[in-house]
Amino acid sequence: MRKIGTSASAPLLVIISLLALLGFFGWLYMQSKADVEEVPIEIEETEPEAIVLVDLEGPAGGLVGKFAEIQSATVERGLGRGVFTLSVGESMTYPVLLSSDLIAQGVAPQDGDRVNLKGRVYTLNDSIRSAWVEQGAIESVAGISAAESFLLADSARVTN
């Protein structure tokens, strides 16, 4: 009789281990092919509520992160190759930064142009203003120094 743990029993243990491993993989394969009950997932497809031009007159805190769809707004003043302000009230303006794709396409609304814009509202702080100046998107922060947020436009169309 052989003792387990001797060199003579090693091949027998290897064969038993391989058979157990093959049995386990066979069981896994059968489980993966078993009928799985599919549960339908219902997703409500709702458009996010877009803010409009009149909403930009209010406090910036509630607007940050929201999608904006601005129809037929007037460009108050161009501030550089990628930034301009919109006229949103009697004496209020709102800054808009064009996306790098729009700047590369040569989109550059002029003062007085009517534009349709789509984009998202972000917080505007001193470091962002400085980055715009360094990148050459804006010539001076004087026109947007009081603004608390800005619209990053992914889509812009001049309608005149």
Domain assignment present for residue 71? The answer is yes
Number of Cα atoms under 13 Å in the Cβ half of residue 105: 11
Range of the domain at 150: 53-158
Whether the per-residue pLDDT at 58 is higher than 60: the answer is yes
User: Cα angle vertex 72, ends 70, 77, to 5°?
Assistant: 90
Predicted confidence (pLDDT) at residue 45 exceeds the cutoff of 70:
no
pTM: 0.65
83-87 and 67-78 strand pairing: antiparallel
CATH number of the domain to which 83 belongs = 2.40.50.140
| Contact yes or no for 144/124 (Cβ under 8 A) | yes
Per-state percent for the chain, helix, strand, coil, to nearest 5: 30, 30, 40
Domain count of the chain? 1
Within-domain flag for 11 = no
Cα–Cα nearest to 69, from 111, 128, 121: 121
Which contacts of 10-14 are long-range, i.e. CB under 8 A and separated by 24 or more positions?
A: none
Does residue 153 form part of some domain? yes
Q: Residue 19 domain-assigned?
A: no
Whole-number percent of the chain with pLDDT over 70: 87
Give the pLDDT confidence score for residue 1 in this predicted structure: 52
Q: Is residue 114 part of a domain?
A: yes
Residue 62 pLDDT > 80: no
- Whether residue 46 lies inside any domain: the answer is no
- Tens digits of per-residue pLDDT, 145-154? 777 888 899 9
Residue 119 domain-assigned (yes or no): yes
Is residue 106 predicted with pLDDT exceeding 70?
yes
Instruction: Tell me if residue 142 falls in helix, strand or coil.
Output: helix
Structural domain contains residue 128: yes
